[in-house]
Amino acid sequence: MKIRSLIVATFVLLALVGTLYWSDHKKPSIEVTKASANTSPAILKLDPASIAKLEIKPKDAEPVALSKDSSGHWQIVEPKSLRADQSAVSKVLSSLSSLNSERVVEDKASDLKQFGLDHPAVEINVGEKNNSSQQLLIGDDTPAGGAVYAMLEGDPRIFTMPSYKKSEIDQNLTDLRDKRLLTVTPDKVSRLELYEKNQEIGFGRNKDEWQILKPKPLPADSAQVGELVAKLTDARMDLSGADKDANETPAAFAHDKPVATAKLSDPSGTQELQVRKNNNKDIYFAKSSAVDGIYKVDASLGQALDKNLDDFRNKKLFDLSYNEPSKIEIHDGAKAYLLTKGGADWWSDGKKMNSGSVETLISDLRDLAASKFVDSGYANPTIEITVSSDDGKRVEKVSIAKSSGNFIAKRDSDPTLYYLSSSQIEALQKAASEIKP
């Protein structure tokens, strides 16, 4: 009897274990099925590279049509022919190409009006290279907000999609047009000409170094010229209030105060930008040879152009930006310092010198720069500095004379006079005196 009870209990236990095993084994499949049922279906699946035409038709605004040209660039063709902002168009295509829904509201719509799809808020027409097309209709906002109703032409289903996706797709003419005033490539600009304040300044670039060519050859501050080129090539139309100013701007521009005219050249050619300032307001307008019309521009562009020749000149006494000196010789009255580099160490009088103290001196030499240029005041120099770099191939010599409490410096074989503050020279003298073995 006991054995029979034990056998029955064993069978019951095995049955329970089998049931649990079967239940656990099947559970993932049930969950996968449920997850699959809740997966949001795609509204559109497109390859952005295959799209050749795009039309955006808002209900209450003029439609914008774009087409890809033979070189693969997007152009606006309607309502008028304009250059398109390639980046802005790419963002729209990216949003369209993988457009997923949040959920399906109806599998077969019987009344489009309740979703605002009988007269859509925006209609998107996409044409592909194989001549196939897709039409996306976007309707009203959902009652809960944060989403909109949408459907695809030829598909009876009504979807909801996130409102932010509609914002990414629903772009107008101003959003999609290229707002650059100059289309030259910044890092390929080889020449810049400025006409301002009754002066003409010409710049030429060799690799990354700028040189002043007009009114005469002079060393240029490459950073200053580079910043101006960047400002000009980044100049954008300010289209806020464009409709209001459309009739007033051309007439006002003719009477505004000229700030400067800039001409930039790259391998594609030369483009010109005229910038003027409103006589009564701190507002700047520009006219470009690369695009029709006159446009308001950011005030910082006008301010960047409102400079003279000296603003673009190189005010550094030593050209040590990319060079490490190998020899430094300083004569300051009765004091003399001679430093020579051997390997990684600096030497003087046969003694290895403290590298930190020498680097302080080199830093002060790098920073030695004029606050302005002067025409006189240089006489009886008391300080002479010679710096060799580039393995001795480059030797720079500067003489410095005291003048009315400050100093005037002159580079060897250069008539330019550099005005230096007394604090700069005092810092240099202090650094030289503190060099120790």
- Considering 312, 333, 348, which residue would you say is the last residue of a domain? 312
The model's pLDDT over 146-164, given as tens digits with 9 standing for 90+, comes to 999 999 999 999 999 999 9
Residue 274 has pLDDT above 90, yes or no: yes
Which pLDDT value is given to residue 31? 33
Identify the pLDDT of residue 5. 56
- 114 and 194 housed in the same domain: no
39 pLDDT band, cuts 50/70/90, is low
Nearest-5° Cα angle at 221, 219 to 227? 145
Question: At residue 162, what are phi and psi to the nearest 5 degrees?
Answer: -60, 145
The answer on pLDDT for 315 being more than 90 is: yes
Q: How far is it, in rounded angstroms, from Cα 254 to Cα 246?
A: 14
Q: How many structural domains is the chain composed of?
A: 4
Could you give the CA distance from residue 204 to residue 206 in angstroms, rounded to a whole number? 7
Share of the chain above pLDDT 70, in %: 89
CA angle 169, 172, 177 (to 5 degrees): 105
Reported confidence tier of residue 207, pLDDT bands at 50, 70, 90: confident
Residue 4 sits in the same domain as residue 110: no
Please state, rounded to an integer, the average pLDDT across all residues of the chain.
88
Tokens read off for 328: 């430094």
Q: 264, 182 in Cβ contact below 8 A? A: yes
Digit-coded pLDDT (tens) for 1-34: 445 555 545 554 555 545 544 444 433 333 333 3
Same domain, 239 and 202: yes
Q: Are residues 151 and 196 in the same domain?
A: no
Mean pLDDT of 110-121: 94
For 229, 245, 373, the CA distances from 310, given in Å and listed in that order, are 17, 36, 8
Do 46 and 171 lie in one domain? The reply is: yes
Q: What is the mean pLDDT of residues 332-343?
A: 94
- Do 277 and 192 lie in one domain? The reply is yes
Find the domain containing 378 and state its range.
325-433
Does 292 fall in a domain? yes
Instruction: Establish if 320 belongs to a structural domain.
Output: no
Domain ends where: 132, 156, 176? 176
Q: Is the pLDDT of residue 184 over 50?
A: yes
Average pLDDT over residues 185-212: 93
> Do the beta carbons of residue 282 and residue 270 sit within 8 Å?
no
The mean per-residue pLDDT over the stretch 51-57 comes to 96
Instruction: Please give the average per-residue pLDDT across 84-90, as a whole number.
Output: 96
Least confident window among 10-19, 77-86, 162-171, 316-325: 10-19
pLDDT average, residue stretch 341-351: 93
**Tokens 């006008």 appear where?**
302
- Judge whether 318 lies within some domain: no
pLDDT at residue 128 greater than cutoff 60: yes
38 against 171, higher pLDDT: 171
- Quick: pLDDT tens for 362-404: 999 999 999 999 999 999 999 999 999 988 888 999 999 999 8
Which residue is associated with the tokens 């000149």? 313
Is 138 in the same domain as 256?
A: no
255 three-state secondary structure:
helix
Mean pLDDT of 130-158: 94
Q: What is the mean pLDDT of residues 285-292?
A: 94
Same domain, 216 and 299: yes
- Domain boundary among the residues 260, 289, 312 is at 312
Distance separating the N- and C-terminal Cα atoms of the chain: 106
